[in-house]
Amino acid sequence: MDSGKRLMVYMLGGFEMYFDGAPIQLKKKLTAKPLLLLQLLLNNREAGVSRRTVIEALYGEETQIDTANSLNATVSQLRRILKETRLPQENYIHVRMDRYFFESSFLTWVDTEAVTVLRQEADLASGDQRLELLYQICDLYHGRFLPELDGEIWVEIARADYQRLYRDSLNEICNSLKERGAYDEILRLTGVAAKVFPFDEWQVWQQECLVHQGRIKEAYELYRQVEKLYLTELDAPPPERMRSRFRNPEKEPWRKAENIGAVRRWLRDSDLDGPYCIPFPSFLYMYSLITRLNSITDTPFCLLLCTLSISDGRTNPTAREYHAAMEQLEGVLEKSLRWEDVFTRYSRSQFLVTLLGASEENSGVVANRIRQRFGDLIGERRLRLDCQVMRAEELMTEKKKPEA
């Protein structure tokens, strides 16, 4: 074995091969069967892969072909592909007892094999040694396993295993760092994770860290971004654990003031200039406060529902279809509303606005201004903005005043 050179294989986040520090250029597409075979064998380098598993992975339901001859041809093609690279001239693909192996005379390192071994070592370790091994796992995990091969059954199974290994390792690291109060480090690690897996709720960790550090504005803005992401991509609300932060602030351990001056400083630093797009849970609190104010003082207010639709009347828009338009509409609302008005994303194609102190007539003027500005902004695109106004009297019809 030539100990001075080695093959480095990366499959987490994309497929790349390096020999002696230089990249290996493969002339076939990554979805070609010879390269599928190469990736399958590299992912199971030590144990090898049975002939049956190889056939199922490469040919699946292709029952009309001669799988034996096709597999032999695929192996021959793979050997030719590897021969055309800068790798040393070797056989590489070996068959023993009906199992297929990738073998070389030089050291071969594969990232998926490395993270698996690291996790096994971590499970036998404790304390700082275990934490260091878990850190190494997270450092090696650069993204989904073979992202180019979505839909391949064996890839999806292996991908889920590696993702679970990464998730469990990172959660354990974060719990350990939380005990030490290392919130900045948690923010760094989960920031990377949230980019790779935006719907795995890593933002919950981020929100908790920001809140513990008293960075309320940033926690608020993070929630807004996550709310927008979930509504746009999934047409669903953010994780319950994030929403509960706004419902139960009294449970936060950092919320303790030495005197009224500290409270004043906190309120000043946390002030959100309006008009401002607030998270939906906060909007519900605001609406409840306004309705109570109305019941006591008869202060007028209106609700304004702004809905984007396609001008031909088609409903149920796709998640991405309105994303850019919703961003533009949010900007229009910020410029068209008053300081005391607040609004929220109600769905992936709707904003809900409270107009405090506004009559129905004034609200209609605001709605027309919003429609006009939005129309001027988007030009001839096939989009329509509908604005519906509801008066306080209608909203309060079924709301009973508390008994004296």
Residue with tokens 């993702």: 163
Pairing of strands 350-356, 301-310: antiparallel
185: enclosing H helix or E strand: helix 183-196
* Residue 238 or 117, more confident: 117
* Per-residue confidence (pLDDT) for residue 101, from 0 to 100: 96
* Per-residue confidence (pLDDT) for residue 1, from 0 to 100: 45
Give the whole-angstrom CA distance, residue 47 versus residue 99: 9
3-state class (DSSP) for residue 337: coil
**Highest mean pLDDT: which range of 128-137, 239-248, 364-373:** 128-137
> Is the pLDDT assigned to residue 249 strictly greater than 60?
no
> Is the pLDDT assigned to residue 35 strictly greater than 90?
yes
Residues 6+ apart with CB under 8 A from 3: 106, 107
Read off the pTM. 0.72
* Per-residue confidence (pLDDT) for residue 63, from 0 to 100: 55
The pLDDT tens digits for 161-182 are 999 999 999 999 999 999 999 9
* Per-residue confidence (pLDDT) for residue 306, from 0 to 100: 92
DSSP state of 150: T
In sequence order, what DSSP letters do the residues of 321-384 get, joined into one string? TTHHHHHHHHHHHHHHS-TT-EEEEEETTEEEEEEET--HHHHHHHHHHHHHHHHHHHTTSSEE
Give the whole-angstrom CA distance, residue 19 versus residue 364: 69
Contact between 156 and 130 under an 8 Å Cβ cutoff? The reply is no
DSSP state of 12: B
DSSP state of 110: E
Question: Sign of the CA dihedral 264, 294, 367, 281?
Answer: positive
> Is the pLDDT assigned to residue 316 strictly greater than 60?
no
* Per-residue confidence (pLDDT) for residue 289, from 0 to 100: 82
User: What average pLDDT score do residues 330-334 get?
Assistant: 90
> Is the pLDDT assigned to residue 223 strictly greater than 50?
yes
**Burial (Cβ within 10 Å: 0-12, 13-18, ≥19) of residue 175:** exposed
- Whether a cis peptide bond, with omega within 30° of 0, leads into 238 is no
Backbone angles phi, psi at 277, to 5 degrees: -85, 105
* Per-residue confidence (pLDDT) for residue 92, from 0 to 100: 94
Q: Residue 137's Cα: distance from chain center in Å? A: 20
Give the whole-angstrom CA distance, residue 108 versus residue 372: 64
3-state class (DSSP) for residue 273: coil
* Per-residue confidence (pLDDT) for residue 266, from 0 to 100: 58
Average pLDDT of the chain to the nearest whole number: 84
3-state class (DSSP) for residue 277: strand
Question: Sign of the CA dihedral 371, 374, 376, 381?
Answer: negative
Q: What Å distances lie between residue 198 and 165, 195, 202, 216, CA to CA?
A: 17, 6, 7, 21
Give the whole-angstrom CA distance, residue 80 versus residue 201: 45
> Is the pLDDT assigned to residue 23 strictly greater than 90?
yes
* Per-residue confidence (pLDDT) for residue 53, from 0 to 100: 92
Give the whole-angstrom CA distance, residue 288 versus residue 7: 63
Give the whole-angstrom CA distance, residue 100 versus residue 40: 10
* Residue 51 or 397, more confident: 51
Helical pair 202-212 and 183-196, crossing angle rounded to 10 deg = 150
> Is the pLDDT assigned to residue 115 strictly greater than 90?
yes
Share of the chain above pLDDT 70, in %: 84
395: enclosing H helix or E strand: helix 392-395
For the beta carbon of residue 58, count every other beta carbon within 10 angstroms. 19
Of 8-12, 168-172, 228-232, the poorest mean pLDDT is in 228-232
Give the whole-angstrom CA distance, residue 137 versus residue 119: 7
The pLDDT tens digits for 42-66 are 999 999 999 999 998 998 866 556 7
